[in-house]
Amino acid sequence: MSGNTKIALVTGASSGIGADTALRLREAGHTVYGAARRIERMTALRDAGVRVLSLDVTDEDSIRKAIDTIIHESGRIDVLVNNAGYGSYGSLEDVPLAEARAQIEVNVFGLAHLTQLVLPHMRARRSGTIINISSMGGKLVTPLGGWYHASKYAVEALSDALRMETKQFGINVVVVEPGSIRTEWGAIAAETLKETSSKGAYANLAEGVATTLAASSQPDAKMTSAPSVIGKTIVKAAGARRPRTRYRVGFGAAPMMSLRRLLPDRAFDFVIRRAFGI
């Protein structure tokens, strides 16, 4: 086995960014575990040599079982790609708190729990790379996405703390901040938004935002990037001895984050409302 061959776990590998990443890591010669709930969606990955695991990141037993399987079969985990996630959309007034908790459960506690179980193995070897998929939405906010953004802001904060905590053990922590990427994410976010806020006081905002979100999932969607843009970045970060702490990639990520830093709040609100047609 070459010294550069890594044992990698990619969550959310049944679709979009995770599926692309798992395939590319495999193509790069690594041993790759691709995990998600819908294992029936991962036959192409299996055919390509990715080891498919059933994983629900909200289920503690499921997480423990997945990590145990990898350690039993491969003895270590060098790279953890915390990618599983979805967008729960709706106005703060409308989103039931049970759904808000579910959003944080998947996007934040799922990532945190996997990280907790992987860290002892990485610490023992004094090496490893944890790659957390945040979003440009971890640095800026759009209307009706409050809980999604809260989850990604949390991913940003946890990643910064983790990076400082684990430096002493030789573990890298990387944040990937994708822009707008053509995956199922937009269609799922649009569905949650319609269910939550399409009737009532925020219906006017919901229509414009849902249309924009749903459009980003179309195969010919303009102003989006392919998931491969993120997959390639993750492969680069996974193989680097000293990866960057942050990668801003995909349509809109770098300019929108710069704009957010430069503009006062109300000027930025104006840009965002225009972009969403609201």
Catalytic residue positions, numbered: 14, 134, 148, 152
d(CA 184, CA 251): 16
What sign does the dihedral 31-37-39-42 (CA atoms) show? negative
Comparing every residue's Cβ against ligand NAP, the nearest one is: 16
Half-sphere exposure of 217 (CA within 13 A, CB side): 16
Closest CA to 144 of 189, 199, 200, 85: 189
CB of 227 to ligand NAP, least distance (A): 6
Nearer to ligand NAP, 20 or 78 (CB): 20
The length of the chain, given as a count of residues? 278
Instruction: State the nearest-atom distance from the C-beta of 47 to ligand NAP, in Å.
Output: 17
Cβ proximity of 149 and 221 under 8 Å: no
CB nearer to ligand NAP: give 73 or 184. 184
CB of 147 to ligand NAP, least distance (A): 12
Closer to ligand NAP by Cβ: residue 129 or 151: 151
- Residues 97, 12: Cα–Cα separation, whole Å: 24
Residue closer to ligand NAP by CB (options 57, 117) is 57
- Nearest in space to 155 (alpha carbons), one of 167, 141, 138, 171: 138
CB of 110 to ligand NAP, least distance (A): 6
Of all helices (H) and strands (E), which one includes residue 258?
helix 253-262
Tell me the HSE value of 61 on the side-chain side, using a 13 A CA sphere. 0
In angstroms, the CA 236 to CA 213 distance is 29
Least spacing, CB of residue 189 vs ligand NAP, in Å: 9
User: What is the spatial distance between Cα 113 and Cα 60, in angstroms, rounded to a whole number?
Assistant: 8
Which residues contact ligand NAP (rule: CB under 6 A)? 11-18, 36-38, 41, 55-58, 83-86, 106, 133, 135, 178, 180-181, 183-185, 188
Q: How far is the CB of 172 from ligand NAP (least distance, A)?
A: 19
- 3-class state of residue 84 by DSSP: coil
Of 133 and 171, CB closest to ligand NAP: 133
SS3 state at 257: helix
Please give the Cα distance from 96 to 24 (Å, whole number).
38
For the CA atoms of 175, 153, 36, 11, the dihedral, rounded to the nearest 10 degrees, stands at 20
Q: Of 129 and 224, which has the nearer Cβ to ligand NAP?
A: 224
